[in-house]
Chain A
Amino acid sequence: MSEQLAPAEAGGDHAMVEVRGLKTYYDEGALRGDPVKAVDGVDFTIEKGETLGLVGESGCGKTTLGRTLVQLERATDGDILFDGEDITEYGSAEIKEWRKNAQIVFQDPESSLNDRMTVGEIVREPLDVHDWPALSVEVRGADDATIAGDGTVPDADSDRTSDITVDPRATGEPVTVRDRLPFSAADVEVDIDRDGDRVTRVTVEVIPSKHRLRQQHVRNLLAEVGLQEEHYFRYPHQFSGGQRQRVGIARALALEPEFVVLDEPVSALDVSVQAQILNLLEDLQEEFGLTYLFIAHDLSVVRHICDRVAVMYLGNIMELGDTEELFGDPANPYTTSLLSAIPEPVPGQQQERLTLRGTPPSPRDPPTGCPFSTRCPVKIRPPEYRDLDPDVWEGIDLLAEIIRQRQQTDRSIREIVKETLGLERQFAEVDDVVIELFGFLAEDRPPERPAEDHADAVIAAVPDPVRPPLETIVDHLRADDLEAALDVLHAEFGSVCDDEFPAEYPVSDSGRRSLCHRHQDEYRDPEDVFETITHR
């Protein structure tokens, strides 16, 4: 892991990347129904030189977030500030220019390289698109001199070193060439026109053609990522997955970006190759002073390489903070569940495994309130149900889930017609569900007893105070009124977790924050509640 820079040391007073209220929605528009809220309002910063990890399960929006940061997706709302400037406001020409600063490495080494092009061509293409190198010339001590020949005027905004620096006052060699360029001062011819003492014009001629320079640069890059120079003429076919990923990395580094988004760069690779690529990424970061956003679903990899980690769920950042702290002492219930689900490569360890129930909700229809409310094992309950039998509580949760899923199901025309004609109830198997969820409370069902009767018996066995509202709910379901059933469920068993979207609370001195209602003083902390669950 690279050294964590204190904010004051970071370049300038801007963080390298600052994201405010970013939202990326897909499929918006009246005809398409609900939009997919892939990224639903996130804020964070990335300091220069650090590696921020972004983890989450599929559908949480981490890939979309990464892609939005490199402008492969349009942000629907919010700002992305890069070195202090809002890139969401850029026009297409500015974006193209900006792209030199931020690049992305893709996940799938099979699909991220065009098989018809040689490796050399692949890595070279970005250079051709941007007419690299710009050959910017800085003339020391003469800001108003005109630049002629191959040289160009350096970009005023950029604080990068110019490619060629000419110092007319120098006694020795007047020309210095930036380190990473594949030519040296010996390849440059400079003509300085003076008017008396003042330098009026500097003509710069670079002997090797740009074509040559690019070829050499590509060869240098290939060597840097651990491939051999003769691989320039080979096709991606002829390489293994790990080597192809190296080519992808070389390509991302071709334009010398400062910020690189790594979208699951090692997920598709074998274990032993993963280690090679991770080491390579760290070496490159150190050598070139890169800033990384490392997107992954493999938490142990993230733990190894990232300075700070953001945990995403359903388009929101649930927790963000220093890696070791977060892994050692997770504050957010989702983080805790996620961490406990990782299978440790240590056999025989009786893991305190918390197996999360259910599946994440659809990003088209996120829950009101906290996004994790449908699955949270430590969800806040109304006070009267605090000490309820957890199995009964789970039954209630599952019932809510099932009803919600039913609501969302696309029913076939036939089914809708049958319903309208009253030939089939939407919730035809209420009784079966009741028996399934709460049947453990009563005795086993004798085979001749009809489902409805047994369901009633089961309900009767449910303890107070759950039974009355449950009876009402089941009545609503039997009458096919899913809405009313959900309303009762919500009113009776719901809490702030279902109603309000939680705020972010700081959970440690190092600036870690977590999105959860339980961090408020009036509720117990998540860790405490987890203790009671696991130590049952």
Chain B
Amino acid sequence: MPDDDPPLLAVEDLHTTFYTDKEDIHAVQNVSFDIEAGETVGIVGESGSGKSVTARSIMGLIESPGRIQPGSSIRFKGEELTGKSEKEYRKIRGSGIAMIFQDPLTSLNPVYTVGNQIKEALRLHQGLRGKEATEAGIEVLEAVSIPDPRRRMREYPHQFSGGMRQRAIIAMALACDPDLLICDEPTTALDVTIQAQILELLEEIQEERGLSIMFITHDMGVMAQIADRVNVMYAGEIVEKAAVEDLYNSPRHPYTQGLLESIPGRNVGKERLSTIEGDVPTPNAVATSCQFAPRCPEAFEACDRIHPSMVEAEGYGRDHTAACLLYPEDLSEADRIDHHRERETPVEEREPTEDPR
């Protein structure tokens, strides 16, 4: 049932390209998805899939030689973000959208105390100073379950353990009371027991504050625990979108299927893990056909000619879509090919404008 209110974040046709000396890398292409208030949307993919670049594009952190192509749209609370100046973006970062990164060690400045850094965030986004800021800082450290927060405010990042650092970063992100929290592999560098703590913490915070979370990871286990809906990315494009149970119980895109079949956690007791042959390609051209076709066990001739669009992959209107020529299932192969060809945007339109160099 479509919501009448616009979603908190609506990304449409995001296309980000990096112009390096050797080649142009289309790190993100045709990416469209929504995030509603209070929900957790996951983006899962392997390296080279473009998930980090998507997050950075949303945050406006793409710098030369990278560039968001015109025609991309990122709407946050109804406001268009692409094309905003750095100054305008700064207002949105922090109190609108906050981001936490993978490596807690490098996200904190080692020469300032943690308290100092939290208070800086508070000063920038909520205008608090002095004692007020300290109290607010302590409160927010408490909210992330750091024991003895008053003392911790005076300590330096190196005196924190890895898990606590990540909590401190979450605290800093929360200090500004954002509506959307983007988490880029926040638990990948952490031990599994600490990871469990952080995931629990995020769930708690989400419940308390009605926060929306965009969670990026390559770990299918973590994704299953934390996400409500999932987008699967491959070589810069989204290849499948579904609610989390649907994705895991009936994955539709051959890539998602291959991925799930190759993780040991889901294949306990199997002698050999099935693998996806080959390697992830570097997307150095705009996609004109299915990028997964060379590795796909179910590929057929049309897959190398036509670029698949996102179509319904499960016939019950349950919002499960996949970019694959095998779907919609109920059509014949010829019909499916036509269906996709109709929706295919011509290459010239998708071809980005001239290189900004």
In the complex they form, do A and B come into direct contact, defined as C-beta atoms under 8 angstroms apart? yes
Chain B residues with Cβ below 8 Å from A279 are 272-273, 275
CA distance A298 to B192 in the complex (A): 8
B200 & A355 in contact (Cβ 8 Å cutoff): yes
Looking at the assembled complex, report how far the CB atom of A279 sits from the nearest CB atom of chain B, in whole angstroms: 5
Annotate A343-381 by CB proximity to B: 1 below 8 A, 0 otherwise: 111111101010110010000000000000000000000
Could you tell me the distance between the alpha carbons of A406 and B154 in the complex, rounded to whole angstroms?
13
Contacts A297-B192, A356-B196 known; A347 to B264 CB distance under 8 Å? no
Those of A241-290 within 8 Å (CB) of chain B: 241-243, 270-276, 278-279, 282
The B interface, classified by DSSP as helix, strand, loop or mixed, is helix
User: Counting CB contacts under 8 A, is B350 at the interface?
Assistant: no
Instruction: Give, as a whole number of angstroms, the nearest-CB distance from B157 to chain A.
Output: 14
> Distance in Å from the Cβ of B272 to the closest Cβ of chain A?
5
CA distance A475 to B229 in the complex (A): 52
B83 in the interface (beta carbon within 8 A): no
A207 within 8 A of B: no
A341 CB–B CB distance under 8 Å: yes
User: How many A-B contacts if CB must be within 8 Å?
Assistant: 143
In the bound complex, CA of A528 to CA of B266 (Å): 28
Measured CB to CB, the nearest residue on chain A to B196 is A341
B47 contacts A by Cβ under 8 Å: yes
Contact of A338 with B193 in the complex, beta carbons under 8 Å: yes
Q: Which of A391-430 contact B (CB under 8 A)?
A: 398, 401-402, 405-406, 409-410, 429
Contact-residue bracket for chain B = 35 or more
CB <8 Å contact, B161 and A303: no
Task: Answer whether residue B147 sits at the interface, using C-beta atoms and an 8 A cutoff.
Answer: yes
CA distance A188 to B225 in the complex (A): 63
| In the complex, chain A residues whose CB is within 8 Å of the CB of B274 | 275
B197 touches A402 (CB 8 A): no
Report the separation of the CA atoms of residues A345 and B244 in the bound assembly, to the nearest whole angstrom. Answer: 10
Q: Residues of A contacting B276 with CB < 8 Å?
A: 272, 275
Question: Can you list, as one digit per residue, whether each of B24-49 has a CB less than 8 Å from chain A (1) or not (0)?
Answer: 00000000000000000000001100
A57 B193 Cβ-Cβ under 8 A = yes
Stretch at the interface among B175-183, B207-215, B254-262: B254-262
B191/A58 in contact, CB under 8 A: yes
Q: Quick one: which of A276, A298, A343 contacts B196, CB cutoff 8 A?
A: A343
Name B148's contact: one of A270, A274, A340, A433 (CB within 8 Å). A433
CA distance A275 to B194 in the complex (A): 25
Those 10 A-B pairs whose CB atoms lie nearest each other, nearest first: A275-B262, A300-B265, A57-B191, A304-B264, A343-B221, A341-B196, A270-B46, A275-B273, A347-B224, A359-B161
Using a CB–CB cutoff of 8 Å, the interface residues on chain A facing chain B are: 1, 57-58, 240-243, 270-276, 278-279, 282, 297-301, 303-305, 337-338, 340-349, 351, 353, 355-356, 359, 398, 401-402, 405-406, 409-410, 429, 432-433, 436
Please give 4 more A-B residue pairs, beta carbons under 8 A apart, in addition to A57-B194, A270-B218, A345-B248.
A271-B46, A271-B218, A297-B192, A353-B196
